[in-house]
Amino acid sequence: MQFFCRFPVARKIYFSSPFMKKYKIEQINVSDTDYKLTGLYKASGDVVKTGDIIFTYESSKADFDAYAEEGGHIYYHPGAGMGNVLKVGEVVAVVSNTALDSKGVAELFTGNGKANEITEEKIITKKAKALIAANNIDVNAITGHSIISEEVVEEYLKSTNKAANYQNIEFYYTNAYRGHFKQGLKRLAIIGAGKAALQIYDAILAGNTHMPVFCYDNNKKLVGQSLMGIPIKGEIDYAQIKKDFEDGLYDEIIVSFSGDINARKKIFQDVLGLNVPIANVIHPTCLISNFVNMGVGNILFANVRIGPFVEIGNNNVISSLCSFEHHNLLGSHNTFGPAVIFSGSCKISDSNKFGTGIYIEPKISIGHDCIISSGVVIRQNIPSSSVVRNLSKIEIKPLGKDEE
């Protein structure tokens, strides 16, 4: 499964005889607990080979493939249909090393019959894996969680005083590290008090365009704390946001987070309805032509290039090293990972999610609500509500002596 590391632990689970391998919804993003099935590539009972794609599911950021880890006959859960929304940990399919009759298939998802014993595996997100490796943690010491996320590891580090401070966001909720922002600039209120807000801090500090005055965040545990010395004022209460502006507490406001594109869109639209000024946050290293029309609520990180006669809507998040050539038309509520490169005269509608390292040929049109996965080259128009994936696979294996 992509982007996950698995560690065996002591607790046991059981499958009906003969031996079988289950495939379930893994947690890709910490903020996501529900995932939509976007592809089923076999029929129940079909033979699959190691490395075959057996299903695809969608997170709030991208689309992910599940690969058969060993060959056999595949059987899908009766509730696993195209477009169905499943929870993290729900079983989508089982691969058996022998063919099963109808009774055997029925027992797969009911737990009846005798069982072969296998070791259960904890689900560990990619970011959690990096923290575990960086801090040399025994994963078995983290108990009470079947899904180990970055937040779970950070909480463990905090409890054991082993946190690598610079990478641990908890460090920035203390007064140990404070931002030194120039005074007398436009006062910026920020919606969201997580890592995305820290990126906003970096951009406005580099550009001396704004000074952050406070954040709003719906995490009640954060209310009353500070982020790099900037107060976390309260939850996202639109009446209070309007009042704070009317009371002269801030000059402009921005939505910082981008992980949940639908939540970001809704909050932006609600704030827009308050008739309060919404900022654009643009890192000073961006190269923007003199002939660009841009809406509000956009975030452009370092070294983004916007070519001449480009039009940009509202509430887009454009990561570092993206480039939009001349005469591109970009809608609203899109998010772009690093190094998404557009040729000239492209049209991009609304609410699309782009991964990292994507290339788009000239005069391409992309509809709305699409997911463009990392590493693709787009040479044809993409209709709305599409998923674009790169089907090439990479091999990861131990380094041999003859390759050192």
What per-residue confidence (pLDDT) applies to 27? 72
Helix (H) or strand (E) holding 36: strand 34-40
The rounded Cα 373 to chain-centroid distance in angstroms is 12
What per-residue confidence (pLDDT) applies to 34? 76
Query: Token match 């660009």: residue?
Result: 292
Instruction: Write the DSSP string, 198-215.
Output: HHHHHHHHHHTSEEEEEE
Cα separation values, 268 from 3, 28, 180, 263, 404, Å: 30, 25, 28, 9, 52
For 115, the 3-state DSSP assignment is strand
pTM: 0.67
* Dist. CA 184–CA 154, nearest whole Å: 36
Question: In 17-61, where do the E strands start and end?
Answer: 20-24, 34-40, 47-48, 53-58
Peptide bond into 18 cis (omega under 30): yes
What single-letter DSSP state applies at residue 283? -
Cα separation values, 202 from 109, 206, 300, Å: 50, 6, 12
**How do 310-312 and 47-48 pair as beta strands?**
unpaired
* Dist. CA 372–CA 354, nearest whole Å: 5
* Dist. CA 343–CA 65, nearest whole Å: 28
* Dist. CA 296–CA 280, nearest whole Å: 5
Asked if residues 113 and 17 have their Cβ atoms less than 8 Å apart, the reply is yes
* Dist. CA 125–CA 51, nearest whole Å: 21
Per-10-residue mean pLDDT of the chain, 404 residues long, equals 36 47 77 78 89 82 80 86 80 87 76 35 74 76 77 77 64 69 89 94 93 94 90 94 97 94 96 97 97 98 98 98 98 97 98 96 97 94 93 74 59
The rounded Cα 362 to chain-centroid distance in angstroms is 28
* Dist. CA 384–CA 86, nearest whole Å: 23
Cα maximum dimension of the chain: 75
Tokens of 130: 């990096």
What per-residue confidence (pLDDT) applies to 14? 38
For 29, the 3-state DSSP assignment is coil
Domains of the chain with CATH codes: 4-122 (2.40.50.100), 186-272 (3.40.50.20), 281-388 (2.160.10.10)
Tokens of 2: 């992509």
- Distant-in-sequence, close-in-space partners of 29: CB < 8 Å, separation ≥ 6: 59, 60, 61, 125, 259
* Dist. CA 54–CA 40, nearest whole Å: 6
Asked if residues 328 and 348 have their Cβ atoms less than 8 Å apart, the reply is yes
Query: Token match 């890709």: residue?
Result: 28
* Dist. CA 274–CA 251, nearest whole Å: 14
Q: What is the 3-state secondary structure (H, E, C) of 223-280?
A: CCCEECCEEEEECCCHHHHHHHHHCCCCCEEEECCCCCHHHHHHHHHHHHCCCCCECC
For 326, the 3-state DSSP assignment is coil
What per-residue confidence (pLDDT) applies to 252? 98
For 285, the 3-state DSSP assignment is coil
